[in-house]
Amino acid sequence: MTTTAKHYVLTISCPDAVGIVAAVAGFLSGHNLFITESEHFGDVITGRFFMRTVFLDRPGMPSPDELRKSFAEVAERFDMDWRIHDSTRKPRVLILVSKFDHCLNDLLYRYRTGTLPIEIPAVVSNHPDLQRVVEWHGIPYHHLPVTKDTKAEQEAAILEMVDRLHIDLVVLARYMQVLSQDMCRALSWRCINIHHSFLPSFKGAKPYHQAHTRGVKIIGATAHYVTSDLDEGPIIEQAVERVNHTHTPDDLVAIGRDIENVVLARAVLYHTEHRVLTNGAKTVVFRR
Amino acid sequence: MTTTAKHYVLTISCPDAVGIVAAVAGFLSGHNLFITESEHFGDVITGRFFMRTVFLDRPGMPSPDELRKSFAEVAERFDMDWRIHDSTRKPRVLILVSKFDHCLNDLLYRYRTGTLPIEIPAVVSNHPDLQRVVEWHGIPYHHLPVTKDTKAEQEAAILEMVDRLHIDLVVLARYMQVLSQDMCRALSWRCINIHHSFLPSFKGAKPYHQAHTRGVKIIGATAHYVTSDLDEGPIIEQAVERVNHTHTPDDLVAIGRDIENVVLARAVLYHTEHRVLTNGAKTVVFRR
Amino acid sequence: MTTTAKHYVLTISCPDAVGIVAAVAGFLSGHNLFITESEHFGDVITGRFFMRTVFLDRPGMPSPDELRKSFAEVAERFDMDWRIHDSTRKPRVLILVSKFDHCLNDLLYRYRTGTLPIEIPAVVSNHPDLQRVVEWHGIPYHHLPVTKDTKAEQEAAILEMVDRLHIDLVVLARYMQVLSQDMCRALSWRCINIHHSFLPSFKGAKPYHQAHTRGVKIIGATAHYVTSDLDEGPIIEQAVERVNHTHTPDDLVAIGRDIENVVLARAVLYHTEHRVLTNGAKTVVFRR
Amino acid sequence: MTTTAKHYVLTISCPDAVGIVAAVAGFLSGHNLFITESEHFGDVITGRFFMRTVFLDRPGMPSPDELRKSFAEVAERFDMDWRIHDSTRKPRVLILVSKFDHCLNDLLYRYRTGTLPIEIPAVVSNHPDLQRVVEWHGIPYHHLPVTKDTKAEQEAAILEMVDRLHIDLVVLARYMQVLSQDMCRALSWRCINIHHSFLPSFKGAKPYHQAHTRGVKIIGATAHYVTSDLDEGPIIEQAVERVNHTHTPDDLVAIGRDIENVVLARAVLYHTEHRVLTNGAKTVVFRR
């Protein structure tokens, strides 16, 4: 689902105004650059404008840095938050897991077959269980156990890895630890969690058991950015499945695994394709 | 979706035990009765058993009352809550509405085309707006306005109608009034509400606006029995639809209408076909 | 789901090239016009480019005709098929029906509540059955029976109405007649049919019975433009629902009605909001 | 999603008649056996009756063989096709693959985590590519290349394995070879294929490319029993996903992989839980 030719992704967020699209498109056509995808959205409630534009690399075009320097003038005029991402640099993803391995298995499969175009420089877990499957993929496995007393230093070790390995995105693939407020802040907008319920229903622990108790007829999963407010982070993607009275909590857990896999994989793909922009406590997701 | 030949529906709820199905099936075959549908469910958590069996009318069979008398012995042996429903008696449904008319329009269409095999002896509203369309269907329209001061007597008037018109089911088709605790109790397990959110998310007022603020990627609707605990009643049916960042609260309201229609119509159909059994604060729904 | 402020919709289709978006956006911002929605798509296989841009009316702006004259220069440069649609002119829709009335009822409800912002100058049917409900909405009902012998003149009468009433779109809302090749050509890209199957499965007659015979686990409906090649027209929208072995053909028909309603209503909305562009035998649908 | 206590599954198919359920339930309760699940279905069109009943093992109950001998009398009375399956014997599944590995990976994951309670005595492929991942799971990998000239002997080798390894089910997990008529007959009702389209749409080769050419708005996958009539086998399970004009054939292939995984896994689970009964060219699937 990715453009395979070498390309760039320009993402923009700024106050809405007349002339933004013209300025951006004019800039790109002025450099004779070919746009393959472009989406924008003006939020009438917040008055904010969001844009994602994909353009192809072409022989003789300015270098990315020259392009950035040149675009800065346009950006300043409209007070833009913006970035130009280079498709040849695969996003570097650090995966955190505990013992449940379905999301890990799914991400590793998409990674090794190239359907999720990312690098995975390391997997971190607070348990030793999943070492074998991770190392089979040629990925270093870091067992960093955590207790109440060692939480601060364990998180420091993870953050040190994030820095040292130039990590772009941390993925909590059913990592059963609540991150500290400091950790959440440090990873702001670059840490995705999969919550095993259709948020905002069933926040907190054992959501499938909560769903069973409430007798809902549909269950779901939610991928969201991690914020210091547990399970309240901006939602990136959700999906659901029908259930009924015959399903025990264990059945819901089993059904939920397939939903979690797909939802998390999509959220990681959207993020790494720069399709997700931040809009206050919400997201703009330029999904296809 | 209904068996059109004359038939009976036997519903049973009792403590689970060896021999229930044999006793029920043996009873029916002993009277040479032909079963067309039968579903049962044993809840391993509560130890309770639920059953719904449809059997055809045949020439020379005992009258329904004789059958009931005869079945009472079986029922007593297993401590059953049970009923034998006669398909020739269409359930009598009282619809309560305010000003939003999409659910009303949908129910009236299904009623007049016979796809929802019910009688509608009356429609009650706290507003006069929908009189014309209701009366066009040949159904009496009762405008019963309500204020804080007149709530008790307005509800008394409705309950009087429920009695006088032999109403089996009250449907709140976007009726924008909170029923009193007494009214809820009086209509226990025979009053269905459509809530315009995917419960338990977004209880209370303006759920689509809540959904917009939270930035969910899927919205839904929930049909549930009314209990004194607002929006906490046993869920009968739910459905959902994808939304995205471009949808304003008004868009969600518009998308929601189609979901509400289908969910409420299904819940009313399931109830009137005796597919819904009560299991504590939850439902067993023998949907196809 | 519609922008309610007065606005214009510019639709474009042309060979893909560098600079199209810049030229269009530059044109609009040059007239100080505010874009609220814009989507485009370049088909890498056919090399064709498609665009839909919504911009707001503002005091003092050029008249639509001046705007069109002025835009023609841009359009010519890129060899565009293009139109500027004025939101204040509601599309005029002629509905054709036979005896099945669920789609008609659904469209009439959306029409009378304003959720489908169209005019319905007339309804035509080859049967008299649905006159009462149509006239209740204040819409003229034309009973034009048809036999093999009278088909040519009946179609001529319909086409004459299309001209005289300035019809923008003809909707076959379960109209059980196959249009002649001439009629199909005359209504090219402005006639939408609802086919009661998930095309290309089960073309032709009695698709729900075909679906039952094949034992599919999901059924669907398809809204498409009518072409002279029966059931092969460009698809605008599809939706599906799960079914199972217990469903008879009649059950499938009943379940299908709800799908048909939603699919047809969406297709008509997309068309009348100018969201559907033609791409050979396929459509580009800029749905939200 | 499986009953974990030791249990038996009784499956029945016979001409419909009064008294079947009573006879079966009476038989089981006569042996003091506890039913945990039971579903039946009478096909009004073919007049055939289908039943699946799960009952628990209990201390002192007759041996399965005694039970079978004893039940034979009941079965004969109603002319039943029937079996009593013992849950302690895990179904033995032979997987056939070519080069696409997503379904294989998914099945192996479910196998190694126990969510799909099967044995996999061997994997056969006409290519060597997937040896490493299969052997990592401790499963023998048989590379059996095939050409037009060697097809007969390659199939003979597979059938020999089916016999020797006491295989209950052969799964074609994107096995890109058309089985011979003889092979199809030999594996009748015990060979499941995943077809990468929403059958009966897009039979034959390259269905995602066919879907792209036709411009459908929804794609799907179908798991079915293999018969000598290619892609016409009885359908067990189907699922779908929305797509749009922006998706290239390669995108459809990528989206399709997730659908294929889930559909095939469900079909294998249903089959191995004895939930699928045959009804002419169709299936009765007692899914929950």
What pLDDT, in 10s, does the model give residues B142-165?
Answer: 999 999 999 999 999 999 999 999
Q: Considering the domain boundaries, does residue D81 fall inside one?
A: yes
Give the whole-number percent of chain A exceeding pLDDT 90: 92
- Of A163, A229, A231, A258, the active-site residue reads A231
Q: Considering the domain boundaries, does residue A1 fall inside one?
A: no
Residue C191 CA to residue C185 CA, distance in Å, equals 10
Q: Give, in degrees to the nearest 5, the angle at Cα D286 between D282 and D288.
A: 135
The reported pLDDT for the residue numbered C1 is 39
Q: Which domain holds residue A62?
A: 7-86
Q: For residue D193, list its beta bridge partners.
A: D172, D224
3-class DSSP assignment, residue C199 = coil
The reported pLDDT for the residue numbered C227 is 95
- Domain holding D34: CATH number? 3.30.70.260
Selecting from D22, D39, D44 the residue whose C-beta is nearest the C-beta of B22 gives D22
Residue where one domain finishes, among candidates B86, B112, B130: B86
Rg of chain B (C-alpha set): 20
Rg of chain C (C-alpha set): 20
The reported pLDDT for the residue numbered B107 is 98
Do D239 and D253 lie in one domain? The reply is yes
3-class DSSP assignment, residue A168 = coil
- pLDDT of B3 > 80? The answer is no
- Domain holding D257: CATH number? 3.40.50.170
Query: Residue D209: its chain C contacts at CB < 8 A?
Result: none
Do A201 and A221 lie in one domain? The reply is yes
Do C74 and C118 lie in one domain? The reply is no
Residue where one domain finishes, among candidates A86, A121, A146: A86
The reported pLDDT for the residue numbered D231 is 83
- pLDDT of A118 > 90? The answer is yes
Using the beta-carbon criterion (under 8 Å), do C113 and B101 form an inter-chain contact?
A: yes
The reported pLDDT for the residue numbered B204 is 86
Residues of B at the A interface, defined by Cβ within 8 angstroms: 41, 43-45, 198-202, 214-218, 220, 234-240, 244-246, 248, 279, 281-285, 287
Using the beta-carbon criterion (under 8 Å), do D255 and A1 form an inter-chain contact?
A: yes
Query: Residue C105: its chain B contacts at CB < 8 A?
Result: 109
Residues of D at the C interface, defined by Cβ within 8 angstroms: 41, 43-45, 198-202, 214-218, 220, 234-240, 244-246, 248, 279, 281-285, 287
- pLDDT of B1 > 50? The answer is no
Q: How far is B36 from chain A (nearest CA, A)?
A: 21
What pLDDT, in 10s, does the model give residues D139-169?
Answer: 999 999 999 999 999 999 999 999 999 999 9
Number of domains in chain D: 2
Do B141 and B38 lie in one domain? The reply is no
Chains B–D, number of C-beta pairs less than 8 Å apart = 53
Selecting from B244, B258, B288 the residue whose C-beta is nearest the C-beta of C288 gives B244
Q: Which pairs count as long-range contacts for C278-282, CB under 8 Å and 24+ apart, including other chains?
A: C278/C13, C278/C189, C278/C225, C278/C234, C279/C13, C279/C43, C279/C46, C279/C48, C279/C50, C279/D215, C279/D245, C280/C46, C281/C232, C281/C234, C281/D215, C282/C234, C282/C235, C282/D214, C282/D215, C282/D245
Chains that touch A (3 or more CB pairs under 8 A): B, C, D
The reported pLDDT for the residue numbered C4 is 66
Three-state SS letters, chain D: CCCCCCEEEEEEEEECCCCHHHHHHHHHHHCCCCEEEEEEEEECCCCEEEEEEEEECCCCCCCHHHHHHHHHHHHHHHCCEEEEEECCCCCEEEEEECCCCHHHHHHHHHHHCCCCCCEEEEEEECCCCCHHHHHHCCCCEEECCCCCCCHHHHHHHHHHHHHHCCCCEEEECCCCCCCCHHHHHHCCCCEEEEECCCCCCCCCCCHHHHHHHHCCCEEEEEEEECCCCCCCCCEEEEEEEECCCCCCHHHHHHHHHHHHHHHHHHHHHHHHCCCEEEECCEEEECCC
Using the beta-carbon criterion (under 8 Å), do C257 and B288 form an inter-chain contact?
A: no
Across D181-200, average pLDDT: 95
Do D63 and D113 lie in one domain? The reply is no
Q: How far is D174 from chain C (nearest CA, A)?
A: 20
CA diameter of chain A: 64
Closest Cα in chain B to D287:
B288
Whether the CB-CB separation of A23 and A74 falls below 8 Å is answered with yes
Q: How far is C225 from chain A (nearest CA, A)?
A: 23
Whether the CB-CB separation of D29 and B18 falls below 8 Å is answered with yes
Write the DSSP string, C130-151.
THHHHHHTT--EEE----TTTH
What pLDDT, in 10s, does the model give residues B18-57?
Answer: 999 999 999 999 999 999 999 999 999 999 999 999 999 9
**pLDDT interval class at D2 (50, 70, 90):** very low
Across A104-113, average pLDDT: 97
Do B101 and B80 lie in one domain? The reply is no
Q: How far is B18 from chain D (nearest CA, A)?
A: 5
Higher-pLDDT residue of C119 and D204 is C119
Do A71 and A115 lie in one domain? The reply is no
Residue D273 CA to residue D270 CA, distance in Å, equals 5
Whether the CB-CB separation of B176 and B124 falls below 8 Å is answered with no
Q: Considering the domain boundaries, does residue A142 fall inside one?
A: yes
Write the DSSP string, C165-183.
TT-SEEEESS--SPPPHHH
Closest Cα in chain B to A40:
B246
The reported pLDDT for the residue numbered A4 is 65
Nearest one of D85, D59, D73, D58 to D27, comparing CA atoms: D73
Tokens of D225: 């029993």
Of C29, C32, C43, C244, which to mutate for an interface test with A (greatest number of A Cβ within 10 Å)? C29
Q: Considering the domain boundaries, does residue D1 fall inside one?
A: no
- pLDDT of A70 > 50? The answer is yes
**pLDDT interval class at B2 (50, 70, 90):** very low
Q: How many CB atoms lie within 10 A of CB D112?
A: 17
Q: How many CB atoms lie within 10 A of CB C138?
A: 8
The reported pLDDT for the residue numbered A2 is 45
Using the beta-carbon criterion (under 8 Å), do D21 and B33 form an inter-chain contact?
A: no
Query: Residue B285: its chain A contacts at CB < 8 A?
Result: 217, 244-245
What pLDDT, in 10s, does the model give residues B94-110?
Answer: 999 999 999 999 999 99
Annotate B197-225 with b (16+ C-beta within 10 A) or e (fewer). Answer: bbbbbbeeeebbebbbebbbbbbbbbbbb
Residues of chain C scoring pLDDT < 70: 1-4
Q: Considering the domain boundaries, does residue B2 fall inside one?
A: no
Residue A180 CA to residue D246 CA, distance in Å, equals 41
**pLDDT interval class at D4 (50, 70, 90):** low
Query: Residue B38: its chain C contacts at CB < 8 A?
Result: none
The reported pLDDT for the residue numbered B4 is 66
Residue B194 CA to residue B231 CA, distance in Å, equals 10
Q: Considering the domain boundaries, does residue A2 fall inside one?
A: no
Do D115 and D229 lie in one domain? The reply is yes
Residue where one domain finishes, among candidates C56, C86, C116: C86
Chains A–B, number of C-beta pairs less than 8 Å apart = 83
Q: Considering the domain boundaries, does residue C59 fall inside one?
A: yes
Residue C11 CA to residue C80 CA, distance in Å, equals 10
Give the whole-number percent of chain B exceeding pLDDT 90: 92
Do B74 and B108 lie in one domain? The reply is no
**pLDDT interval class at A229 (50, 70, 90):** confident
Positions of B marked catalytic: 231
Across B69-76, average pLDDT: 96
How far is CA C206 from each of CA C196, C258, D169, D200, rounded to the nearest angstrom?
8, 17, 36, 15
- What pTM value is reported for the model? 0.95
Do C145 and C71 lie in one domain? The reply is no
Q: How far is C42 from chain B (nearest CA, A)?
A: 22
Whether the CB-CB separation of D237 and C274 falls below 8 Å is answered with no
Using the beta-carbon criterion (under 8 Å), do A25 and C22 form an inter-chain contact?
A: yes
Using the beta-carbon criterion (under 8 Å), do B33 and D18 form an inter-chain contact?
A: yes
Query: Residue A18: its chain C contacts at CB < 8 A?
Result: 29, 32-35
Residues of D at the B interface, defined by Cβ within 8 angstroms: 18-19, 21-26, 28-30, 32-40, 42, 44
Using the beta-carbon criterion (under 8 Å), do D282 and C234 form an inter-chain contact?
A: no
Whether the CB-CB separation of B161 and B142 falls below 8 Å is answered with yes
Do A150 and A165 lie in one domain? The reply is yes
Instruction: Give the 3-state secondary structure percentages of chain B, helix then strand then coil, rounded to 5.
Output: 35, 30, 40
Rg of chain A (C-alpha set): 20
Do D76 and D142 lie in one domain? The reply is no
Q: Considering the domain boundaries, does residue B37 fall inside one?
A: yes
- pLDDT of A1 > 90? The answer is no
Tokens of C57: 């009316």
Selecting from B199, B248, B282 the residue whose C-beta is nearest the C-beta of A245 gives B282
Whether the CB-CB separation of A205 and A170 falls below 8 Å is answered with no
Using the beta-carbon criterion (under 8 Å), do B247 and C102 form an inter-chain contact?
A: no
Say which DSSP state C287 is in: -
Q: How far is A17 from chain C (nearest CA, A)?
A: 7
What pLDDT, in 10s, does the model give residues B210-246?
Answer: 999 999 999 999 999 999 987 889 999 999 999 999 9
Q: How far is D175 from chain B (nearest CA, A)?
A: 34
B89 phi, psi to nearest 5 deg? -95, 105
Side-chain-side CA neighbours of A109 within 13 Å: the count stands at: 24
